[in-house]
Amino acid sequence: MPSGTDRDTKWKGSRDAWLDAAFELLLDSGVDSVRILPLAKRLDVSRTSFYWFFKDREALLDALIERWREKNTQGLVQQTEAYAESITEAILNVFDCWLDHALFDSQLEFAMRSWALQSDQVARAVDAADEARINALTHMFERFGYAPLAANVRGRTIYLTQIGYISMNTQEALEVRMQRIPAYVEIFTGQVPQTRELQRFQARHVHASEAIS
């Protein structure tokens, strides 16, 4: 027989469950679809149970912004700070973000930027995220000896290129992207990546038998 806690959880859901469902609606249909009643139906819980976790819809939307910030901005910043023996290896650490949704969710980024067109608050959050991410990339280049201006220009180039991919909703096969990775690294850093760096990168994302030779 389920405990009282189990029954309460089924009746109310959980904060994470409400947030997960809100993200699904945001990705599927945009922010206007993120409303309490559709979420309650999706979770099969009482509408009033929403208020156990959030003051109102605005509080839920604020929580969505914060979760996006924690996932995408922190994920990217952490990758710029990951251990690397060379700038080319450091760039490949950043490129992990574009291939691993656990580090950076491109669909979520697209949804947030679409939302920013409707909300000054979200637009400000996106602007702040852009600045933090570009600063992190700039500091990464500076760590490997690039002058401040060159570091900033290279960091901006990397970031704005990827945001362009996301904003245009560009679809690219993994095989095609992998073929382009060495050229991107060389263009962004001015240095040719070493074979072993490319092999380690590709091994993280594709089957070892398909590794770059």
pLDDT tens-digit map of 167-200:
998 888 888 999 999 999 999 999 999 999 999 9
Residue for token digits 């999706």? Answer: 42
Number of domains in the chain: 2
- One domain for residues 1 and 92: no
Residue for token digits 């608050």? Answer: 121
Choose one of 54, 74, 90: the last residue of a domain.
54
- One domain for residues 108 and 176: yes
In this structure, what token pair is assigned to residue 205?
């994302």
Mean predicted confidence (pLDDT) in 120-135: 97
Does residue 4 carry a pLDDT above 50? no
Task: Provide the domain limits for residue 43.
Answer: 1-54
Let me know if residue 89 belongs to a domain.
Answer: yes
Q: Maximum distance among all alpha carbons in the chain?
A: 66
Close Cβ partners of 201 (under 8 Å, ≥ 6 residues apart): 92, 95, 96, 181
- One domain for residues 49 and 137: no
Does residue 147 carry a pLDDT above 90? yes
pLDDT of residue 12: 59
* pTM of the predicted structure, to 2 decimals: 0.87
pLDDT of residue 207: 54
**Tens of pLDDT along 7-64?**
444 445 789 999 999 999 999 999 999 999 999 999 999 899 999 999 999 999 999 9
pLDDT of residue 5: 46
Let me know if residue 59 belongs to a domain.
Answer: no
